[in-house]
């Protein structure tokens, strides 16, 4: 008579396997955070070259999408072939992300890089709200890590100094971006429950590029003015970091789910702050640096739980019933 119940060794092996998968997702999330941290810096470089926000958003996503299509056609042709329903779902996620990017670059043009990045850091809150509303259980441990990270974001953003901001439209644009990013992460988790991350990335980014291009054509104003070499350098750099960061982020979403990926992605704030300090001469108070340390601490705690196998992949699709 065989024993169908898992043994202690089976459970240990399963947890170890989950831990290894989780660590690969964590590493990808960390890479995505580093690449995303460059976005406000490169965006400011493009604005210095007189590139307007709508044009920057459109060209950046076009570069990213064209680059990915070239890579896939050469190396990953099999990843292009997915069902039409999966393609449509990915394009829908891309539309949400594209609208969010329009808010982001419009807000970035009105605020300094540090402030814009940190106002946009509220997206994990929205991701948690949307996931709870969809019926997913959020672990107390995860909520604790989120609280640590958000305390860091509050310190870094220093809301008691918000009275020094005169451009409240820029603030609202970044808050709208945060909400859409939270929803985009949740939708991405659902879609990637059924679609391999590399295939999903291609079509999500394609949907994003199409959305921003249509918005630029319909409401972006006059034809694109000549762009200086420095502007094109910033645009191309943004496009490449966008492509690679999306590949890394969606792999992380596939392995870890929306909340864990959002917490790890908060570490991009530390990257943005450091780069803004180095390249844009933006200065932060001591308590803001304390906040950056808390953000990093939230990511470290996430890694510890993932490594132990205590946080299995959370990807699921409620639309499947």
Spell out the per-residue pLDDT of the chain, length 321, in tens: 445 545 554 444 444 444 455 677 778 888 888 998 899 899 999 999 999 988 999 999 999 999 999 999 999 899 899 999 999 999 999 999 999 999 999 988 888 887 787 777 777 777 777 777 777 666 777 677 777 767 776 776 565 544 455 577 887 888 899 889 888 888 888 888 888 888 999 999 999 999 999 998 887 556 667 889 999 999 999 999 999 998 988 888 777 776 677 777 777 777 887 888 889 887 777 777 777 677 666 655 554 554 444 444 444 455 454
Domain range for 73 is: 21-320
Report yes or no on 112 lying in a domain.
yes
Report yes or no on 14 lying in a domain.
no
Report yes or no on 15 lying in a domain.
no
Report yes or no on 210 lying in a domain.
yes
Report yes or no on 57 lying in a domain.
yes
Report yes or no on 310 lying in a domain.
yes
Report yes or no on 8 lying in a domain.
no
Residues in the chain, total: 321
Residue whose structure tokens are 């001591």: 286
Q: How far is CA 285 from CA 17, 121, 296, in A?
A: 43, 18, 17
Whether 121 contacts 260, CB under 8 Å: no
Report yes or no on 9 lying in a domain.
no
The domain total for the chain is 1
Under 8 Å CB-to-CB from 144, ≥6 apart: which residues? none
């Amino acid at each position: 008579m065989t024993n169908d119940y898992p043994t202690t060794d089976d459970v240990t092996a399963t947890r170890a396997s989950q831990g290894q998968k989780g660590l690969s997702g964590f590493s990808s999330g960390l890479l995505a955070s580093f690449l995303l941290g460059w976005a406000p810096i490169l965006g400011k470089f493009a604005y210095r070259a007189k590139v307007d926000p709508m044009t920057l958003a459109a060209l950046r996503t076009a570069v990213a999408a064209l680059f990915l299509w070239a890579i896939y056609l050469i190396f990953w042709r099999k990843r292009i072939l997915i069902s039409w329903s999966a393609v449509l779902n990915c394009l829908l996620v891309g539309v949400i992300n594209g609208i969010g990017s329009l808010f982001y670059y419009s807000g970035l043009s009105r605020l300094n890089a540090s402030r814009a990045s940190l106002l946009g850091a509220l997206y994990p809150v929205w991701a948690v709200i949307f996931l709870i509303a969809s019926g997913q259980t959020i672990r107390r441990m995860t909520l604790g890590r989120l609280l640590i990270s958000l305390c860091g974001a509050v310190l870094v953003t220093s809301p008691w100094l918000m009275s020094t901001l005169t451009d409240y439209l820029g603030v609202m644009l970044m808050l709208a971006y945060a909400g859409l990013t939270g929803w985009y992460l949740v939708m991405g988790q659902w879609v990637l429950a059924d679609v391999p991350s590399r295939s999903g990335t291609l079509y999500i980014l394609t949907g994003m590029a199409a959305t921003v291009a249509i918005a630029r054509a319909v409401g972006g104003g006059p034809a694109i003015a000549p762009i200086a070499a420095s502007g094109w350098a910033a645009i191309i750099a943004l496009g490449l970091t966008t492509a690679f960061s999306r590949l890394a982020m969606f792999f992380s979403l596939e392995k870890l789910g929306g909340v864990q990926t959002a917490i790890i992605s908060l570490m991009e704030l530390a990257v943005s702050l450091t780069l803004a300090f180095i390249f844009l001469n933006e200065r932060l108070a001591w308590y803001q640096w304390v906040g950056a340390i808390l953000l990093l601490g939230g990511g470290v705690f996430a890694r510890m739980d993932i490594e132990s196998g205590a946080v299995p992949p959370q990807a699921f699709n409620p639309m499947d019933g």
